[in-house]
Amino acid sequence: MSDKPDSTLASAFASSPNHGARAHGRAPNCLVLHYTGMASGEAALAHLRKSEAQVSCHYFIWEDGRIDQLVREERRAWHAGASCWKGERDINSSSIGIEIVNAGHPGGLPPFPPAQMGAVAALCRDIAARHGIPPERVLAHSDIAPGRKVDPGENFPWAWLATQGVGVWPDDVAPAANAPLLASAPLLEGDCGERVSEWRESLARWGYDIAPGDTFDAHTRVVVEAFQRHFRPARVDGVADAETQGVLSALLRGFGDRPV
């Protein structure tokens, strides 16, 4: 098999043995972004290439913007783990996984350097163009595994990335002419009723793994935290306050329910 990377942006093929066939001939329809969460990029890359680790990714982006490919795009890399998005539970078969070197929460959430983020933006645009991946399907690991994963973290510059044509941000959605001011009463763990039922339905429409119900339970809270970590990172508290409700409403108005 050729060791030439699939993307012309990758400078090397650092092969990992941790991959398999995509189930049922699935083609990639989403991008999943991760941080490595380890003390160094060298340690993270070595881990992703160990067969006993049983984990890998398609691409690996260093702090200086260098890009390595570990698994061919046609193959199923083992990066997502137990996860779900819009009812799809084998995310590994339907995604391309990108690991971004960053110590993450264990290392105090250091910033992502400009050179690295430039490479992230360019690689995501390249992959999305070649596979027809829509912007709303550029996802955080925390989106597809709420409560289990928190990467790439609340310091990841999603808003900036959207200005580079990657992913979506609520500022890109024009407000509805009759949209109410941010005055909705907050919803929080322990609440019950029709508003909670509608809120859970809205989270599921966006893609989160949350079943119908009228109780704001612990799972609802961690899903809200995942949503905030991506789209309202200034305060990740699991409370569906007026701002959080408004952001989700705007995203659904602009991008919700579009076919893959």
Residues annotated as part of the active site: 99
**Spatial distance between the Cα atoms of 242 and 258, rounded to a whole number of angstroms:** 25
Tokens of 17: 């043995």
**Spatial distance between the Cα atoms of 125 and 119, rounded to a whole number of angstroms:** 10
**Spatial distance between the Cα atoms of 166 and 136, rounded to a whole number of angstroms:** 9
Cβ atoms 14, 60 nearer than 8 A: yes
